[in-house]
Structure 1
Amino acid sequence: MRDRLEEMLSFAAVARTLSFADAARELGINASTLSRRIARLERALGTALLRRTTRRVSLTEAGALYLERCTDVLTRVEEADALVSGLGGAPRGRLRVALPNLFGQLQVAPLLPEFMHRHPGIELELSFMDRYVDLVHEGFDVAIRIGTLTDSSLVARRLATNRRVLCAAPRYLRGRRPLTKPEDLAHQACLHFSFFADGETWTLRRGEERVAVRVRPVLRSDNAEALRLAAVGGCGIAALATFLVGEDLHAGRLVRLLDGWSVPDAGVFAVHPPGRLVPSKVRAFVSFLAERFAGTPPWERAITQARLG
């Protein structure tokens, strides 16, 4: 049974990384040992789990089916270990976390030294990326997601609200007629985030009132930092998350527009695979972020005194 668990663990690592070299490095074994384990597993099962060429590794149909069951078994083993270790002391083990690129860098990374000092038994492995991550197939323990959750199979905890504000640099606003209503945006140079669900129509909200405005983008980008830099540089008006522009607003490099109006909020969530027993390392990480983001999150505190344009 121990050999089979090793083989399953090895197969899951190769299936996740699609690389024997990367999987061997992750497991701390040499590539020949890893290859023997996979070959032994395939012989025992009587079918090929992986397709191997000189350039790439991919899953066979049988491999994809086996990975689902294999992941479930390994998760249950980890849950059992977590239960026992949780009874015996502090959480420990490697914790793989997927983070949105900018939010992870700006709002999570600065908190990590405190978390690591508080939980020295946990080894963190962080991946910063904006693409959708399949937690189970890619082997992540927990992910931070911003927006509307669509995967109902995951366990989610809301950590904070992702509030977005309309803003521009004083340089852009100088000499222009003040904006008094959402419809005024149609005649402005706008900096447009390509992932907005409504395309180039910006929907603004004030209480229960909603107004949709077709904007005229002078810059389109799927990178919010590029839009922030353009806004600070006086290129136009942007609708950006407060976690990104909080310091700019506080310092006066950007000013808020259309007081009371905002792009509809989204949520900041911690998500992890379901299970009857949540590993203590996952509970520790999620609880830590929930504690630090409770009430008014730190990026919102920085702009409470920011002036309006």
Structure 2
Amino acid sequence: MNLNALIDFILVATNEGLGKASRASGISKATLSRRISDLEEQLGVRLIERSARGLKLTEAGEMLMARTEGPLSEVADAMTTAREGVSTPRGRLRVASPVLFSQLAMGRIGAEFCAAYPEVEIEVVAEDRLVDLVEEQFDVAIRINPSPDSNLVGRCFAKDRLVVVAAPEVLKPDPGEIRPIPGIVTSSFQPTHWSLDGGRLVLEPIPKLRFSSLLMVRDAAVAGGGVALIPQSIAWNQLARGELVQWGTVSGVEPELWVLHTSRRLITPKVRAFVDFICAKYPDMSLVLTG
């Protein structure tokens, strides 16, 4: 298959027409049209429907576009790097990141990364769901305690702890039998017990307030609404100011943040630079965030 024909097909599809593709690339419309026709003949399917109104991708064309646009972009990046004999990070970098971490840290990290690498354009999408890096054309994903995935590789760059906190006026029960307490929980909360400090104190949260955001859970605890289980990183300031009291750490649970990318052998300079950059932001692995 002629790689140039495939690249030209992506060019025409992205620009939604021969004219715009020709102006964007400097390649004549006749050449673009011929190469696409050659590609269709090689594949034995029609990729683009031509009419007086313009061009429209067929179902086969849409499938080819979805499967090849991302990989071809990486190939183009690699060829540019090889041709110029440099490894300067450049181009668009798409990052999928958990909502909470995005709200607290990614704005600052993104701005500092772009300042360090001015030829990179960064887009951060706050997503708690597991995105498909290849299908959705993400370069990097940040995930909490990711499950093993043979298609992804990366590094753990920070760790957190889950702590039980409450306002100073909320009385902490004495160790002993399971103690019921008024709980402030997330919307996805399921009945459970909170075992603190090796089981010396076991709490049974009775949900009184439910929120979809851990920041709201934290703020409700500060207001005296009950007892909450939250990452220590988002309660750091409130604990330091005495607005919250830490009752203990949940045993056996340590959230880890990983920065992941696809396991293909070719890693682009922009991805390598971002992985190194975010790991350097947390040299002691401590996830101390303010907010």
Q: TM-score range by the shorter chain?
A: 0.7 to 0.9
Q: For 1:189, which of 182, 191, 194 is the aligned residue?
A: 182
1:7 match: 9
The AA in structure 2 aligned to 1:271 is L
> What is the alpha-carbon distance in structure 2 between the residues aligned to residue 47 and residue 94 of structure 1?
31
Secondary structure of the corresponding residue to residue 280 of structure 2: helix
> C-alpha separation between the residues in 2 aligned to 1:82 and 1:143?
23
Shift of 1:126: 1.8
Alpha-carbon offset, residue 62 of structure 1: 7.9
Instruction: Name stretches of at least 5 consecutive residues in structure 2 with no aligned partner.
Output: 50-55
Q: Deviations over 1:281-307 (max 9, x none)?
A: 11111111101112153517x8xxxxx
For 1:216, the aligned partner's letter is I
Rounded to whole Å, the distance in 2 between the matches of 1:205 and 1:8 is: 56
RMSD, matched Cα = 3.7
CA distance change for structure 1 residues 89 and 74 in 2, over 3 Å: closer, same or farther?
closer
Corresponding position of 2:175: 180
Aligned to 1:204: 195
Letter in 2 for 1:239: L
Partner of 1:113: 111
Higher helix share: 1
Question: Are the aligned partners of 1:91 and 1:119 in contact in 2 as well (CA < 8 Å)?
Answer: yes
Larger radius of gyration: 2
2:235 partner letter: V
Report deviation, 1:65: 7.0
After TM superposition, give the deviation of residue 241 of structure 1 in Å: 1.0
Match of 1:248 in 2: 238
**Kindly tell me: are residues 105 and 261 of structure 1, through their superposed partners in 2, closer, same or farther at Cα, counting changes over 3 Å?**
closer
Q: Distance in 2 between matches of 1:293 and 1:96?
A: 21
Alpha-carbon distance in 2 for matches of 1:182, 1:261? 17
Change (3 A) 1:213 1:234: closer
2:276 is aligned to: 287
Q: Distance in 2 between the 1:249 and 1:295 partners?
A: 21
Q: Does structure 1 conserve the Cα–Cα contact (< 8 Å) formed by 2:193 and 2:203?
A: yes
> Among 103, 126, 130, which residue is 1:132 paired with?
130
1:17-56 equivalent positions in 2, closer than 5 A: 45=43, 46-47=45-46
- Compute the displacement of 1:170 (Å): 1.7
Decide whether the 8 Å contact of 2:194 with 2:202 is kept in 1: yes
Aligned to 2:157: 159
Instruction: Give the letter for the 2:186 counterpart.
Output: F
Matched-pair contact (CA < 8 Å) for 1:160–1:293: yes
2:194 and 2:250 in contact (8 A); partners too = no
User: Structure 1 pair 152/105, CA: closer, same or farther in 2 (3 Å)?
Assistant: same
Which residue of structure 2 aligns with residue 274 of structure 1? Answer: 263
Q: Select 1:169's aligned residue among 164, 167, 174.
A: 167
Q: Which of these residues, 203, 215, 219, is aligned with residue 209 of structure 2?
A: 219
**C-alpha distance in 2, partners of 1:6/1:205?**
61
Q: Secondary structure of 1:293's partner?
A: coil
Change (3 A) 1:59 1:242: farther
**Alignment match, 2:53:** none
Change (3 A) 1:206 1:148: farther
Q: Check 1:43–1:125 CA distance in 2 against 1; reply closer, same or farther (3 A cut).
A: same
Deviations 1:37-95 (A, max 9, x none): 9xx58955415699xxxxxx99958854773355444434434444556x425211111
Q: Which amino acid aligns with 2:181?
A: Q
**Partner of 2:178: helix, strand, or coil?**
helix
Deviation at 1:146, TM superposition (A): 1.5
Structure 2 residue 77 is the aligned partner of structure 1 residue 78:
yes
How far apart, CA to CA, are the structure 1 residues paired with 2:90 and 2:101? 25
CA distance in 2, matches of 1:249, 1:218: 22
Contact 1:158 1:268 in 2 (8 A): yes
Q: State the number of aligned residues.
A: 266
Contact kept, 8 Å, 2:87 with 2:269, in 1: the verdict is no
CA deviations 1:106-152 (Å, max 9, x no partner) are 12322333322221121112222323221111111111112333533
1: CA distance between counterparts of 2:264 and 2:130? 21
In the superposition, the TM-score normalised over structure 1's length comes to 0.71
Q: Distance in 2 between matches of 1:93 and 1:232?
A: 43
